[in-house]
Amino acid sequence: MDDDRTVTLVEVGPRDGLQNEKAVIATQDKLALIERLADAGLTRIEATAFVSPKWVPQMADHDAVMRGARRRPGLTLSALVPNEKGAVAAIAAGAQELAVFASASESFARENTNCTIAESIERFGPVLALARTHRLPVRGYVSCAVDCPYEGPIAPAMVRAVAERLLDIGCAEIAVADTIGRGTPERVDAMLADVIEAVPIGRLACHFHDTSGQALANIDVALGHGIRIVDSAIGGLGGCPYAPGAAGNVATERVVAHLASLRYDTGVDPDKLAVARAFASGLKTAK
């Protein structure tokens, strides 16, 4: 299929999806979920986060998950890392991509990382250096790209500035995130129009939560701008422990069906995805 009709999905269910679940999910179940997602044809899976178990208990088994996830041709397993210590551990465990997490909101940065936006990006320097040494790509998230739970609406210029800084320090890809799911197509359009002035389209991704039921409409806006990398989470799992009111990510199965209706190719098998969806649903309800 024409590359312009191909959309790459980044499956964030095992990390962003499960991190907010209160009941601890067994490591073997996480590995089984990753396996089913890969079986369905998802080629980029954010497997875990190398963060302190004190802050995100669900990710305490990050080393076992990253080491235990089966490698296969065409699959990239990534890990979120907050700092150099996390990056060292993730690389040792076999992460194939790293992700760092910045914010377009100063209030959210303080709540999430206990520092300013500038300080949080400064911490990423050693992470990028390690990644270069090991020839690993680094994805940079810009959270609160539309709204902040503490500050309200975020100016597009602020999102652009943070995205540009992440690009400058060496991030291979920038994912702008509507962290609390309040984004409307009009506001997402304005934000992306500004960010695209600083970040090449091919290096830009979108991460939408579906709190207000606008995620698919916002994805349509991103597609209209030429963006072809979209985040989603199986079964709509997820939320953010530092963002009050943040419901689940947009569901992978809904995105796949929606894109198919628009004649975009994701390479994902809907039937096998349904198997992964049923498994994920069992994890979520097994309290």
Q: How many C-beta atoms surround the C-beta of residue 38 within 10 A?
A: 21
* Inter-helix orientation angle 215-224/185-195, to 10°: 40
Q: Active-site positions? A: 240
Q: What secondary structure does DSSP assign to 215-230, as a single string?
A: HHHHHHHHHHTT--EE
Question: What does DSSP say about strands 76-80 and 97-103: parallel, antiparallel, or unpaired?
Answer: parallel
Of the candidates 233, 279, 273, the one whose C-alpha atom is nearest the C-alpha of residue 252 is 233
CA distance 200 to 197: 8
59: nearest Cα among 47, 45, 69, 49: 49
Which residues partner with 102 through β-bridges? 142
CA distance 59 to 12: 13
Amino acid, single-letter form, for residue 190 = A
φ/ψ (deg, to 5) at 140: -110, 120
- CA atoms within 13 A of residue 240's CA, in its CB half-sphere: 25
Of 200, 209, 261, 199, residue with least CA distance to 230: 209
What tokens appear for 218 in the block? Answer: 């916002």
* The token pair that represents 230 in the structure block: 């979209």
